[in-house]
Each structure stands twice: as structure tokens, then as C-alpha cells.
Structure 1
Amino acid sequence: CRNPISNRFLRHFNFVSFPEMDAASLTHIFRTIMGSTLESEAFDENVRGCLDQVVAATISLYHAVSAQFLPLPVSVHYTFNMRDMSRVFGLMYSSDEKV
């Protein structure tokens, strides 16, 4: 264990914890966000047709990477969260509509 933190110091902080979201919730969130962006940015119909597959593949990749690269004291940079998935979708939004 790392150096213990005293209760005297901990009393100044609040602990907030959220359970990890299931795949259905993640699918609903990112499908809604990506669907509205693809429609508002006038992407090609072929691109919009791949929406469900892209969202499912990204969530599947996120779960696989999170299970494979666990954070350890030696490699604390292996932490993956929803922010990383939103970056993937953000890069898709910034791509050329015709590609």
C-alpha cells in the first residue's frame, strides 16, 4: 500500500463514486450524440448508415483495451474512461464529410 493518508487530512475532502456504465447506456449516449452531429454536419448517407456499427465497435474496443491494459503502480497512465471514447468520436466529427 502507498503511504496512508490521515483521517485529519481526509476530512477536508468529499468522495464521489459512480458505478461504471453498462454497454446499453454507453450505446444510447454516444449514438444520440453522434447521430445528431452526423445529421447537423450533413455527412454522406453512407457514413450515417454506419452509425450503429461505429458506436458498437468503439464501445467494444474501449472494453477490450480497459480489460487488457489495467492500471498498475508502475503504469498508472493505463486508465481509460468515457473521455477517451468521446475523443474518438470527436475525431470522427472533425473528419472530412466525403471520406
Structure 2
Amino acid sequence: MDEILIKLEQILEQRKSAKADKSYVSSLYNKGTDEILKKISEESAEVIMATKDGSNDKIIYEIADLWFHTLVLLRFKKIKVEQITNELSRRFGLSGLKEKANRNN
């Protein structure tokens, strides 16, 4: 799974130097954080709607869009996929309740 995320990360990084009129991702980068967050918000809402509709295929499609736009945000903020997977690894085996309590300390 990490392999496709790493490949996407590399492509998204390359898009930073592309012309905005030739690259959707570059156009998002040029518009900045608010536009990227707007897309993430839209995609999140679409995940919710797809889930309510009950079609797993639609859920998968919308989650892929959400992940994609989240990856755009990560690259925009210079956060690597590896940092996210490291955080998930750190949490693995840790009770969700305990992890949440640790955040509040």
C-alpha cells in the first residue's frame, strides 16, 4: 500500500513546478491552503453521502478522492507520507482511548 502512496507523493511534488493551466494539482497549489482545504471538505462530504447511499464502489471511489486531496495537502505543507505512516505505526497496538488521553496531557 505504501508504494502507491509514495509514487503519488513523488508525482504531487513534481506538479509543484508545473504550470497551473496544465496541471490540476499545480492549480490547487497556486490557490493555496484554503482551496486545498475546500476540496478536502467537499470530498469528505461526498464520502458521507456515498456511505449513506450504501454503495461500496462509490465509497471506495470517494475515499480515493479524499485521500488524493489529503496527499495534495501533505505535499503542500511539506509533510511526507512516511511521517503519517510513522505516526500510525506509533499508535499501533495502543488503545484508542489511551492514545486520546495521552493527547490531552
More helix by share: 2
- How would you bin the TM-score normalised by the shorter chain? 0.3 to 0.5
TM-score under structure 2 length normalisation: 0.34
Larger RCO (CA within 8 A; separation ≥ 6): 1
Bigger Rg, structure 1 or 2: 1
